[in-house]
Every structure is written in structure tokens, then in C-alpha cells.
Structure 1
Amino acid sequence: MLIRQAEEKDIGLLKGIVAAMKARHEDNYVERCMAEQTEKRRTILLAEENSQGLGYAMVNWLPLYPPFRRLGIPEIQDLNVIPGARRQGLGARLVEACEKTAAQVGKTEIGISVGLHAGFGAAQRLYVRCGYVPDGAGLMHDETPVVAGEMRPVDDVLTLKLIKNL
């Protein structure tokens, strides 16, 4: 199994992973992310074996989350492993590859978001095992802080921001 930076020729593999995940993204999501990689706004890391896409993760160098952006902290985003390749350590290897990518350009911290409903349970456990801790800002809903007593839906954009020293 190989983890490497994705290239234009990998768009089909990435789309296959998105489809296998039944992810809800806009139609041109993969192409937009690839364009952002060309612009040095993100790095897409692809896990493959025998020319089959098994998963991917992205390092966003300019995250929308204001504290990360202000402090120059890159954010791991969109970590996905296809169902047939799970529970084999691939998620942890993708996280580690993202961390190494950030460290290679001199970053000393990296962030990641995790959803709070049960659908994110495996990710929650993975990030703790990988050494991530809450950034201390509390819950976010679509990158906006949730104020105590405020009602927000428990959906995919209700997140906790985590951080790790590299």
C-alpha cells in the first residue's frame, strides 16, 4: 500500500472513493480540490494499492476556521477510507502522512475537525489515539462558535476542533 500526493490523473480514483463513501459533495468537488492543490491551497494524499483507491486525506493550508488560519495552522480535512479497507490502520497512516507533510514545510502544529454524532465515532477514537486534543474553543457549527444555551442541529457540521503539536 502506498500513500502519495494525488495527481490530475488520479481524479477517477478520488471520485471512486467519494462514491464508495456515499459522500455528499458538490458535483465538481474532486476537480475543485485538485485545482486548489495546483494553487498550493491544499495537498491531497491518496492511499492506493494495485491501482485501487483505498482512501485519501487533505491538508488545507488555508483553513476557513479563523483561529487555525490566523495562526498559520494547517488542517487535515476530508479523511476517508473506503469500507473494505477499514480497521487495518489506514486512517492512522493517512493522518500520519498529513502530519509529515505539514512538518516538512516547517509547521509545528496541525489541526483537524471531528463531527459529534455517532457517525463520527470511529474518527473521534482515531484522533484521540493519534494524540489530538481539543483546541479549547468549544463546539463549532459550520466554523461558527456555538454559544452556551444556543440550539444547533446535531449534523455533519457540528464539530469540535482538535490540535496536535508535531
Structure 2
Amino acid sequence: MTLRIDDLAPADVEAVVSVDGGNGWNSDRILWDRYLAEQAHGLRTVLIAWSHDHPIGYGTLAWASDYAPFRLRDMPEINNLCVARSHRQSGVATTLIRTLENKARSSGKAGIGIGVGLYADYGNAQRLYARLGFRPDGEGVTYRGRRAEPGKQVCLDDDLILWLSKDL
């Protein structure tokens, strides 16, 4: 497979939103237009993985994370990482993560973070992040952006997140 990683360009949006990437793939044009605007203002870096001129994956780097422990440590967050179903388990996610790490490192960042869901659908991502050197940040889990409190109940869904970080 020939793999190319490029920054998101306005002309790429139509190709990305037209992909049937399976579980997790986001085809919301409003989101992609927002990503373009955030990238233009230096708030986010958006990468697209291409194979033979077809988008097969993407990942973003939020330079100021919404997750306070990362933001307080000036640690960018890898966010919304997804590989099309037909190209999973082929190294695309690893390449996207390594490229985002390099961008953070070249910008003088000492670390990088990522959040991951806790149920079985996230199992491959959990194993990948551990293999790439990400470790729990020690702050516990959050639910819908708030720290999960001991003794309280939360729903096991996409909003229950374990936060991981890595020194660069």
C-alpha cells in the first residue's frame, strides 16, 4: 500500500466526507469546515492519510486541549483519530500518530496526550497507544469532560475517557 500523509486542504473535504469509513469515521461537513478554520488559525493540525488518492484515515492535533490537565502542561492532544474500516490494522494509525508526534516535537512540545474510550470497541486503540508508549496520565477517567467521581455512576459509552500521555 502506498501511504501519503498531508495536511488537510479545502479541496480534501469533499473526498473525506464521501468515504464510507465504517465505525468512527466522521462525515460531518460542518466538523470538517470547522477543522479547516481551526487549522487556518493555528489551533489544530489536521492530517489526512491517502492511498492512491483516496482518503483512508485522519487525525488531528489540538494545540490547546479541552482536557485541563493537558492544557495546564501545554501538552497538545491527538484527537479524532480514525482509519477507514478497510485499512485498519495496516499501520495507518501508527503513521498518523508518529507524524503528529513529530509535529508536536518540532514545535517544542515536551509531551503529547490522547484520550481513549474504555469499552471493547476501543480495544485495538488501547493496545496501539500502549505499544507506542502512551501511559495513563494518573488523573483517572472523565465522563463528558468531567472527572468521574468515586461512588458515582456513569454510562459506559464514547464519553467515558481514559487519558494517556507520552514524553516526546
Output the TM-score relative to the length of structure 1: 0.94
- Corresponding position of 2:22: 21
Quick one: which amino acid aligns to residue 93 of structure 1?
Answer: T
In 2, Cα distance between equivalents of 1:163 and 1:99: 11
How big is the alpha-carbon RMSD for the aligned residues of Structure 1 and Structure 2? 1.4
Percentage identity across paired residues of the two chains = 34
Distance 1:153 1:25, change over 3 A: farther
In 2, Cα distance between equivalents of 1:36 and 1:127: 25
Deviations 1:99-149 (A, max 9, x none): 011011111100000000111111101100110000000011122100111
Quick one: which amino acid aligns to residue 21 of structure 2?
Answer: A
Specify which of 45, 48, 62 is matched with residue 46 of structure 1: 48
Output the TM-score relative to the length of structure 2: 0.93
Specify which of 56, 59, 69 is matched with residue 57 of structure 1: 59
- Structure 1 stretch displaced more, 59-68 or 20-29: 20-29
Q: Given that residues 13 and 29 in structure 2 are in contact (C-alpha distance below 8 angstroms), is that contact kept between their aligned partners in structure 1?
A: no
1:72 aligns with 2:43: no
Specify which of 77, 101, 104 is matched with residue 102 of structure 1: 104
Question: Mind listing any 5+ residue stretches in structure 1 that lack a counterpart?
Answer: none
- Structure 1 stretch displaced more, 27-36 or 106-115: 27-36
Question: Mind listing any 5+ residue stretches in structure 2 that lack a counterpart?
Answer: none
1:22, distance to aligned residue in structure 2 (A) = 4.8
1:138 aligns with 2:140: yes
Three-state SS of the structure 1 residue aligned to 2:141 is strand
- Corresponding position of 2:86: 84
How many residues in Structure 1 have an aligned counterpart in Structure 2?
165
Deviations 1:76-104 (A, max 9, x none): 00110001111111111111011011011
Q: Given that residues 16 and 53 in structure 1 are in contact (C-alpha distance below 8 angstroms), is that contact kept between their aligned partners in structure 2?
A: no
Distance 1:46 1:27, change over 3 A: closer
Three-state SS of the structure 1 residue aligned to 2:137 is strand
Quick one: which amino acid aligns to residue 46 of structure 1?
Answer: I
